[in-house]
Structure 1
Amino acid sequence: MLSGNTLLMKEVNKDLVREQLKTLRKATKQDLSQKTGLSVVTVNSILTDMVKHGEVQEGEMIPSNGGRPSLLYHYNVNYSYGIVIYGHQKENQNCIHLAVVNLAGESVYKEEAFMEDIQLESFEELIDRGKEKVSHISIIGFGLPGEEEDGVVTLNDYRNLTGDVFMKHYREKYKVPVIFINDINGAVNGYYHYKAPGGMLNVAGIYFPRLYPPGAGLVLNGEVYTGNKSFAGEIAGLPIGVDWIKLDYDNRTEIREAIGRLVAALACVIAPEQIVLYGDFFQEDDVAGIKEVAEKLLFRKFDIYLVLSQNFEEDFEQGMIRFLLEHSVDKYILSRKGIETVML
């Protein structure tokens, strides 16, 4: 019987091979040995197991520098599917999106629905329709305006989802791992990895849904930072003298003053290289006005780099898919065997 440490090392090695083959899409075991630093014998053992379970497919034989032909292995991106459910404000309503994605992060089915009153079971019909489109799912990711810790939703704009029932309900109903990502954390994750200028390590995103107070997502040293009890980014409570629910978002002067204060406060604490603003009320010339207010409050000691984005939905989806793939079903094998507990 394999020990816990041996099993853990085997899964770590498998993950190395998996990530390289997912990137290359097809490769020989010699290629994978060079890329991962693992021996050809170890790679061969891992590939044999992955072929057996359908995650990898054997391809054609190819010539190899005067030696024996080598077998080409193809990664089966449709070996497993994940479901992403993410919600945000659209046309002043709760818009809930569904995306079914394969292991390459490619969407094979999408759908959206407007929901007035969101309850515990509200997402089940969407998930069930998504499941019908593929052979099976291995993970579900929720991207919602709130926070979760150890399976307990501690904060949520959809109040019926708070508590320890939500995550447990969907895990037990669909018998797969379930992860929960804060909405702006999902969006800033997508923006940072796919749109931020190269070389940046610290980026902040602020989302203004209007019907609810704003929230911030933080990327620090290249990683999304959630803080103690996942509370980082809950900026609505900052004592800067702004009532975000009563704020007139059509009043240019009012929003520039309010958001300028918020940006200044964020700059003082985080000092990000870039701040992305999301909201359907922004106009292009708001950037200069907000920047002026913020930098004046900071006595011109910090140069603020602001960007307006109208692509919250796109960044959110891409960020959620990236989170989902990072926590793919195979990372739960050890936890199911009692070797490791995975915290998301």
Structure 2
Amino acid sequence: MQVPKKTGNSKLVKKLNKEEVLQQVVLHGQISRADISKQTQLSRPCVSALVDEMIQEGLLQEVGMGDSKGGRKPILLEYNYQAYAIAGAIFEGSTLDMAIADMKGEFLARYRKRLAQPANGETVIEDLAAGLDRLLRESGIPRERLLGMGVGLQGVTQRGSGTVSFSPSTGWMGSPIQQTIEARLGLPVIIDNDVNMMTLGEYVRGAGVGHTNVVYMYVGTGIGAGIILDGQFYRGSREAAGEIGFMMIGPVHNRPNGASGVFETHYSIPGIQEQAKGFLSDLQEGSSVIEELIRHAKHNPEAEKLLADVYRHWAYGMANIISILNPEILILSGEMVHVDGEGVKQIHEWLREWVPEVPNLEKASLGERAGLIGAVHSVLEAFPFTRLLDKE
């Protein structure tokens, strides 16, 4: 390991040394001052002075005694994961889901709200601001200890420019939405497509753990997919990769400007409900249309026919994805988690018939937490631990 030279700008040298110490603590979980000295090749007095300062700043904490190596038992140090916090938010259909988490990504407080419909950009941002104020009060986190927020939005988002190029539900068409949210909230914001945030959540904490080629397929008020290839998100040239709701699956129609694609129109939740309204007129808000179709299919031929049609068309979408991307695992999420064992078996049989290599089909394991976990993790990725030293 290269040790910073003790010449030049003493303030810079001190910062570099503190970065080395912090990296060792985060890397090892718990470590003694003596072992930090060995790993960094910094002198023990230097390490002790830096550690004492970082304890005072709230970044490190002493957590007990380690095993003796012949002398006194060493005092172990640990990063204080509660020193700072991160916020996450997901707009999913007509719902805003928000949370504040510590630096491990563990939720400290959570808030969920039904949004007024039809939504518009201004009211949505005000809902976001009000939700953040509530989370700060409930968690007791001072605003100045909040590092940033990850926000999952419906539509085609450009992370680099901070814009949303296509979002009919809010009217954000080419708007500099990241800048607008940052100005309103007074903190750094990372935006991404809502399904990408869900994909990231399942990739780091859920069904995608241990896989490097993952497709996450989501059916809700819309249809979309998140794509991870060789451990990296694939976003496409204009960050519109995964907009599978525009696949030509289902009866083709003329799409008015700003309308949904063919697949999404017919086989998202609203599309299925529209086809089922003749025999699912009593469908309660918040209930699963697939669970209701499965229940009605036992005694209603129309429901049985529609259920088979939905499964088959969802499988068409999966076959298209698999034949192009060849993922290790295809994660079924949103309304698809309600498909029963018989339905999953039928979809798998179709795929075996249609494509040469069928990936593992797994249901999402994190439920509605996936997007929030992804939103929080997006900030953790963008804000490395060593940058916390700049906060002091």
- Per the shorter chain, which TM-score range? 0.7 to 0.9
Structure 1 residue ranges without an equivalent (≥5) = 337-344
Matched with 2:158 is 148
1:11-49 Cα offsets, whole Å, 9 max, x none, are 86366235326xx2x421234456xx4224375565355
Match of 1:196, SS state, is coil
Equivalent residue for 2:311, pick from 236, 256, 259: 256
State the shift of 1:311 in Å: 4.2
Q: Distance in 2 between matches of 1:335 and 1:47?
A: 16
Of the two structures, which has the highest relative contact order with CA contacts closer than 8 Å and spacing of 6 or more? Answer: 2
1:264-284 Cα offsets, whole Å, 9 max, x none, are 111111101111111326421
Matched with 1:245 is 265
Counterpart check, 1:295 vs 2:352: yes
Q: Cα–Cα, structure 1 residues 178 and 65, in superposed 2: closer, same or farther, change >3 Å?
A: same
Counterpart check, 1:327 vs 2:336: no
Matched with 2:26 is 19
Matched with 2:130 is 125
Give the structure-2-normalised TM-score.
0.71
Structure 2 residue ranges without an equivalent (≥5) = 1-7, 251-261, 273-292, 294-305
Aligned AA (1:148): Q
1:135-174 Cα offsets, whole Å, 9 max, x none, are 2312111122232232222233543344343211222233
Identity of aligned residues (%): 21
My pick for the range that moved more, 128-137 or 281-290, is 281-290
1:40-73 Cα offsets, whole Å, 9 max, x none, are 4375565355334221134666674234553432
Q: Cα–Cα, structure 1 residues 16 and 164, in superposed 2: closer, same or farther, change >3 Å?
A: farther
Native 8 Å contact 1:149 1:229 kept in 2: no
Q: Distance in 2 between matches of 1:257 and 1:67?
A: 69
State the shift of 1:198 in Å: 6.3
Q: Cα–Cα, structure 1 residues 175 and 185, in superposed 2: closer, same or farther, change >3 Å?
A: same
Match of 1:138, SS state, is strand
Native 8 Å contact 2:149 2:376 kept in 1: no
Match of 1:227, SS state, is coil
Q: Distance in 1 between matches of 2:14 and 2:177?
A: 32
Give the structure-1-normalised TM-score.
0.80
Q: Cα–Cα, structure 1 residues 304 and 62, in superposed 2: closer, same or farther, change >3 Å?
A: closer
| Between structures 1 and 2, the one with greater strand share | 1
| Between structures 1 and 2, the one with greater helix share | 2
Q: Distance in 2 between matches of 1:245 and 1:82?
A: 36
Instruction: Determine which structure has more spread, i.e. the larger CA radius of gyration.
Output: 2
Aligned length: 323
Native 8 Å contact 1:139 1:329 kept in 2: no
Matched with 1:223 is 232
